[in-house]
Amino acid sequence: MPAHELHPETWVDQYADYLFNYAVSRVSDSEIAKDLVQETFFAGLKSAKNYKGDAAERTWLIAILKRKVIDHYRKINSKKGKAEVRMNYNSSSEESEGDWLEERVADPFSKGGDDTIENEELGLAIQDCLSKLPKKQSLVFTMKTIQGISTEDICNELGINPSNLWVMIHRARTALMGCMNQNWF
* Confidence check: pLDDT of 169 > 60: yes
As a CATH number, domain 1-79 is 1.10.1740.10
Give the least confident one: 10-14, 68-72, 110-114, 148-152: 110-114
Nearest CA to 67 out of 116, 107, 119, 18 is that of: 107
Average pLDDT score, the chain: 75
* Confidence check: pLDDT of 40 > 60: yes
Q: Comparing 1-79 with 85-185, is the CATH topology the same?
A: no
Name the DSSP letter for residue 142.
I
End-to-end CA distance of the chain: 42
Nearest CA to 38 out of 3, 4, 72 is that of: 72
Per-residue confidence (pLDDT) for residue 37, from 0 to 100? 93
* Confidence check: pLDDT of 50 > 70: yes
pLDDT in tens, 92-104: 444 444 444 433 3
Residue ranges of domains in the chain: 1-79, 85-185
* Confidence check: pLDDT of 141 > 90: no
| Alpha carbons 102 and 176: distance in angstroms, whole number | 13
Q: Determine whether 85 is exposed, middle or buried from the number of CB atoms within 10 Å of its CB (0-12, 13-18, 19+).
A: buried
Specify whether the CB–CB gap between 160 and 136 falls below 8 A: no
Per-residue confidence (pLDDT) for residue 31, from 0 to 100? 92
The residue-averaged pLDDT of 23-51 equals 88
CA-based R_g, the chain, Å: 20
Fold classified for 85-185: Arc Repressor Mutant, subunit A (1.10.10)
pLDDT in tens, 67-88: 888 888 777 765 443 343 433 3
Specify whether the CB–CB gap between 115 and 107 falls below 8 A: yes
